[in-house]
Amino acid sequence: MRDVAIIGVGQTEVGEHWDVSLRHLALGALQAAMTDAGVAQTDALYVGNMLAGELTGQEHLGALVADFAGLRGVEAFKVEAACGSGAAALRLGYVAVAGGLANIVVVVGVEKMTDTLGPDTTSALAMAADADYEAAQGISFVALNALLMRRYMHEHGYAHHDFAPFAVNAHRNGSHNPYAMFQFPVSADRFAQAPMICDPINLLDSSPICDGAAAVVLAPAEAARAFSAAPVRITASAVGTDTLAIHDRRDPLVLDGAVLSTQRAYEQASVGPQEIDLFELHDAFSIMAALSLEAAGFAERGQGLRVALDGEIELGGRVPITTMGGLKARGHPVGATGVYQIVEVVQQLRGLAGSNQIPNARVGMAQNIGGSGATVITHILERME
Amino acid sequence: MRDVAIIGVGQTEVGEHWDVSLRHLALGALQAAMTDAGVAQTDALYVGNMLAGELTGQEHLGALVADFAGLRGVEAFKVEAACGSGAAALRLGYVAVAGGLANIVVVVGVEKMTDTLGPDTTSALAMAADADYEAAQGISFVALNALLMRRYMHEHGYAHHDFAPFAVNAHRNGSHNPYAMFQFPVSADRFAQAPMICDPINLLDSSPICDGAAAVVLAPAEAARAFSAAPVRITASAVGTDTLAIHDRRDPLVLDGAVLSTQRAYEQASVGPQEIDLFELHDAFSIMAALSLEAAGFAERGQGLRVALDGEIELGGRVPITTMGGLKARGHPVGATGVYQIVEVVQQLRGLAGSNQIPNARVGMAQNIGGSGATVITHILERME
């Protein structure tokens, strides 16, 4: 096994791109990343995507993107793990390079959620949950998260407005990210008055439905300097899974998959929570941000929200999260999100995060979650000195 | 890089299983393979599947199958490459074990095509083709193959009845495979009289829509004897891609992706066509069988059909194909097919193919194709002496 580095990153602006097709989104991110890395060829291309079949009538994205990007002939597959598809594709790219089966791998995460055919997007997103035992009851994905949030408030004695810091922090950071869907701040008052989506989840608890693509290029760390002046080492790539249906879990308020995934990652990278300079967590809903902070060891059970209330999630805090806007403000094109998170950690470690820069960021963690915690993929990245 | 062996295989009977869900199909194959290998745990689970989202409203099959199989916590993803999804999942399992990132990997291919919701299966299958430039014109997947077949007949001067040997051979072999969907022979006369599906493709040129699952367990070859008395070594695992849309190809009658994939596989395994004792090719339609024989070096352009007409594809022939029934008679549950092919090659190499046994089979090749040749995945397996 050899060390793996990220030698190039690329992203497209997240938003409702009614006039841009899935293949053009993917191409934009891929070309930006390959240009950044200075490579014209790749040994393999892994595409993270969840819903292209359901929403745009197109499967077979590996061959599609390879073809459209002029990489015809190359090994190319689509990887799917619901909203964790992006990091799943990265994980498999990492495996190929770490094991010596490939030298250069391009990983693209892409999702096209506007201008769709077939089922509505809410129905499609419910395919991340258990079709037979959750979705079949008529429960949507946001409803599952609403049940978790309500239980969290009940058990730990929080009010809804206590969740405001997650949206406020994400939007403050997103307002300085030119790739973010929502480049404006929101106040705690505006959070409190946001329209209800699925009680107690309101509009500002929720990440948006949107389009986007992000990409990274991987290479062996020992060769990375030949491509990039600022390569970033992947010091951990770990996966943990849990039951697909929430009702099968020993404790619905503990993301066991995230606990497992994070522990494995800490062990691989020989670090603990105290070494993490920034944490790009999976804030698809604000309740998931709270639960993720707890599962990753930044707070005890029930205290994840306290971390936010104490301001510790902000850029200057103990554990800065969603530093470029997160799923909430940068946007959550589901299969692309895991790759956006990686691109943003790389920006921070390269010192290119602009006014959102974490001073002297050295170690960053990204965690991408599929479903309500059923697949959790954690990567730890470190600046190569 | 280390050698990889298959230490266990499992499969379910292919058919229209209206009363069996996708997760039960996957479980059946997985348990059979893990029992065969004598393992109770795995480091990773890769699930090959194309259409669970579109047809059964369920994505996120990695976590689903891991959960349902009692493997909660394990790394688990779905891999998709249209009808090549099964071999794509195997390819990624191979990469993980060969590179030393995992010791035991379970690969499951599963597809549930009956009892579906959402789009009809024909529309869903068209997602293997180019949604914007092929399917959007109203052309189905069988229609694309019909155009290829018509062109082949026109250019090379064959009649439709010349394709009969593919169906006759597949059904003869399938009639002795207890896992095959069609366990009965067909005659050349019956082929000639079969109902037309999409001129010139008739019912017996076509593989059926069906349900099924197959699984294999991988381990480092050096450890394989500890698990299996008859392990099989993977001596090649290779991928080649081509344009997604057929109209973009330099020659629609040459599967360049298959040429590339096969050449890479021969090179890896240090063998040529003459060393291959049996070839499980992707006979989704009989035209694909002819084109595959040519791309893999068993015939010149236009002569693949001649190989069949000369009886060389039969069990005692120069290049036995579809030895357990192939896609045509065993059935083609799309995302599972690539793993069924592997299971069948392993049966042959273990000498357990019953009355379909190729005497002293030592080297077998399996080739799984996504779309009309856009993704081609080739594995060569050898008996471990």
**What distance in Å separates the CA atoms of residue B254 and residue A239, rounded to the nearest whole number?**
41
Mean pLDDT of chain B, nearest integer:
97
A51 CB within 8 Å of a chain B CB: yes
Decide: residue A86, CB within 10 A, 0-12 exposed, 13-18 middle, 19+ buried: buried
Is the model's pLDDT at A127 over the cut of 90? yes
Q: Which tokens sit at A210?
A: 């949107």
How many Å separate Cα A374 from the centre of its chain?
A: 14
Q: Which tokens sit at B88?
A: 């794509």
**What distance in Å separates the CA atoms of residue A254 and residue B277, rounded to the nearest whole number?**
53
The tens digit of pLDDT for each residue in B315-332 reads 999 999 999 999 999 999
**What distance in Å separates the CA atoms of residue B223 and residue A182, rounded to the nearest whole number?**
53
Q: What would be the CATH architecture of the domain defined by B121-206+235-383?
A: 3-Layer(aba) Sandwich (3.40)
The CA distance from B238 to the nearest CA of chain A, in Å, is 8
**What distance in Å separates the CA atoms of residue B192 and residue B312, rounded to the nearest whole number?**
21
Mean pLDDT of chain A, nearest integer:
97
Q: Which tokens sit at B9?
A: 């295989």
The three-state secondary structure class of A184 is coil
The CA distance from B344 to the nearest CA of chain A, in Å, is 24
Beta bridge partners of B375: B241, B370
A370 CB within 8 Å of a chain B CB: yes
Is the model's pLDDT at B83 over the cut of 90? yes
ipTM comes to 0.98
The tens digit of pLDDT for each residue in A238-257 reads 999 999 999 999 999 999 99
Confidence band of B60 (pLDDT split at 50, 70, 90):
very high
**What distance in Å separates the CA atoms of residue B162 and residue B173, rounded to the nearest whole number?**
19
The CA distance from A223 to the nearest CA of chain B, in Å, is 18
Confidence band of B118 (pLDDT split at 50, 70, 90):
low
Q: Find out whether A50 and A85 touch, Cβ atoms under 8 Å.
A: yes
Element (DSSP H or E) covering residue A337? helix A334-350
Confidence band of A118 (pLDDT split at 50, 70, 90):
low
Residue A165: phi and psi, rounded to 5, are -55, -30
Other residues' Cβ atoms within 10 Å of the Cβ of residue A41: 12
A254 CB within 8 Å of a chain B CB: no
> Which of residues A25 and A115 earns the better pLDDT score?
A25
Average of pLDDT values for A9-34? 98
CB pair distance less than 8 Å for B127 and A53: yes
Best residue in B4, B60, B139 for a mutation probing chain A (most A CBs within 10 Å): B60
Cis peptide before A200 (omega within 30 of 0): yes
Alpha helices in A20-163 (DSSP H): 22-37, 52-56, 61-68, 85-98, 121-125, 141-156
CB pair distance less than 8 Å for B77 and A80: yes
A43 CB within 8 Å of a chain B CB: no
Element (DSSP H or E) covering residue A168? helix A164-174
CB pair distance less than 8 Å for B241 and A66: yes
Q: Which pLDDT score, from 0 to 100, does residue B116 have?
A: 85
Q: Find out whether A32 and A215 touch, Cβ atoms under 8 Å.
A: yes
Calculate the alpha carbon distances from A375 to A24, A78, A87, A116, B67 in Å: 28, 17, 10, 26, 11
Q: Which of B67, B77, B260 has the CB atom closest to A81's CB atom?
A: B77
Q: Look at strands A105-111 and A212-220 and give their pairing.
A: antiparallel
Confidence band of B385 (pLDDT split at 50, 70, 90):
confident
Q: Find out whether A384 and A246 touch, Cβ atoms under 8 Å.
A: no
Best residue in A60, A120, A255, A260 for a mutation probing chain B (most B CBs within 10 Å): A60
**What distance in Å separates the CA atoms of residue B202 and residue B193, rounded to the nearest whole number?**
9
Decide: residue A225, CB within 10 A, 0-12 exposed, 13-18 middle, 19+ buried: middle
Question: Residue by residue, what is the 3-state secondary structure of chain B?
Answer: CCCEEEEEEEECCCECCCCCCHHHHHHHHHHHHHHHHCCCCCCEEEEECCCHHHHHCCCCHHHHHHHHCCCCCCEEEEEEECECHHHHHHHHHHHHHHCCCCCCEEEEEEECCCCCCCCCHHHHHHHHCCCCCCHHHCCCHHHHHHHHHHHHHHHHCCCHHHHHHHHHHHHHHHCCCCCCCCCCCCCHHHHHHCCEEECCEEHHHECCCCEEEEEEEEEEHHHHHHCCCCCEEEEEEEEEECCCCHHHCCCCCCCHHHHHHHHHHHHHHCCCHHHCCEEECCCCEHHHHHHHHHHCCCCCCCCHHHHHHCCCCCCCCCCCECCCCHHHHCCCCHHHHHHHHHHHHHHHHCCCCHHHCCCCCCEEEEEEEECCCCEEEEEEEEECC
Q: Which residue has the tokens 């480091």?
A: B43
The tens digit of pLDDT for each residue in B274-306 reads 999 999 999 999 999 999 999 999 999 999 999
In CATH, A121-205+235-383 is 3.40.50.2000:
no
What percentage of chain B exceeds 70 in pLDDT? 99
Is the model's pLDDT at A83 over the cut of 90? yes
Q: Which of A17, A83, A171, A198 is catalytic?
A: A83
A63 CB within 8 Å of a chain B CB: yes
Confidence band of A379 (pLDDT split at 50, 70, 90):
very high
Average of pLDDT values for B154-182? 98
A284 CB within 8 Å of a chain B CB: no
- A198 catalytic? Reply is no
Q: Which pLDDT score, from 0 to 100, does residue A385 have?
A: 81
Q: b vs e for B57-69, b when ≥16 Cβ sit within 10 Å of the residue's Cβ?
A: bbbbbbbbbbbbb
Q: Which residue has the tokens 């349900």?
A: B211
Q: Which residue has the tokens 């068993």?
A: B298
The tens digit of pLDDT for each residue in A323-348 reads 999 999 999 999 999 999 999 999 99
The tens digit of pLDDT for each residue in A264-313 reads 999 999 999 999 999 999 999 999 999 999 999 999 999 999 999 999 99
A65 CB within 8 Å of a chain B CB: no
Decide: residue B351, CB within 10 A, 0-12 exposed, 13-18 middle, 19+ buried: middle
Which CATH code for domain B4-119+210-226?
A: 3.40.47.10
Q: Find out whether B82 and B375 touch, Cβ atoms under 8 Å.
A: yes
Residues of A with Cβ-Cβ distance to B244 under 8 angstroms: 60, 63-64, 67
| Largest interatomic CA distance in chain A | 57
Residue (of A150, A112, A146) closest to A27 by Cα position: A112
The tens digit of pLDDT for each residue in A174-212 reads 999 999 999 999 999 999 999 999 999 999 999 999 999
Q: Which of A64, A101, A370 has the CB atom closest to B95's CB atom?
A: A101
Q: b vs e for B123-157, b when ≥16 Cβ sit within 10 Å of the residue's Cβ?
A: ebbbbbbbbbebbeeebbbbbbbbbbbbebbeebe
CB pair distance less than 8 Å for A75 and B58: no
**What distance in Å separates the CA atoms of residue B379 and residue B372, rounded to the nearest whole number?**
19
Average of pLDDT values for A94-100? 98
B100 CB within 8 Å of a chain A CB: yes
The tens digit of pLDDT for each residue in A33-77 reads 999 999 999 999 999 999 999 999 999 999 999 999 999 999 999
The contacts of residue B185 (CB under 8 Å, 6+ apart) are B168, B171, B172, B175
Decide: residue A297, CB within 10 A, 0-12 exposed, 13-18 middle, 19+ buried: middle
Q: Which pLDDT score, from 0 to 100, does residue B117 have?
A: 79
CB pair distance less than 8 Å for B57 and A21: no
CB pair distance less than 8 Å for A82 and B60: yes
Confidence band of B57 (pLDDT split at 50, 70, 90):
very high
Is the model's pLDDT at A30 over the cut of 70? yes
Q: Which pLDDT score, from 0 to 100, does residue A120 have?
A: 85
The three-state secondary structure class of A95 is helix
Confidence band of A117 (pLDDT split at 50, 70, 90):
confident
Residues of B with Cβ-Cβ distance to A21 under 8 angstroms: 132
Residue (of B116, B183, B53, B1) closest to A2 by Cα position: B1
Domain ranges of chain A: 4-119+210-226, 121-205+235-383
Q: Find out whether B363 and B234 touch, Cβ atoms under 8 Å.
A: no
CB pair distance less than 8 Å for A242 and B91: no
**What distance in Å separates the CA atoms of residue A115 and residue A56, rounded to the nearest whole number?**
8
**What distance in Å separates the CA atoms of residue A357 and residue B127, rounded to the nearest whole number?**
42
The CA distance from A72 to the nearest CA of chain B, in Å, is 5
Q: Look at strands A363-370 and A278-280 and give their pairing.
A: parallel
- A83 catalytic? Reply is yes
Beta bridge partners of A232: A6, A383
A4-119+210-226 against A121-205+235-383: fold identical:
yes
**What distance in Å separates the CA atoms of residue A254 and residue A215, rounded to the nearest whole number?**
31
Active site residues of B: 83, 332
Q: Which pLDDT score, from 0 to 100, does residue A370 have?
A: 98
Region of poorest pLDDT, from A22-36, B89-103, B117-131: B117-131
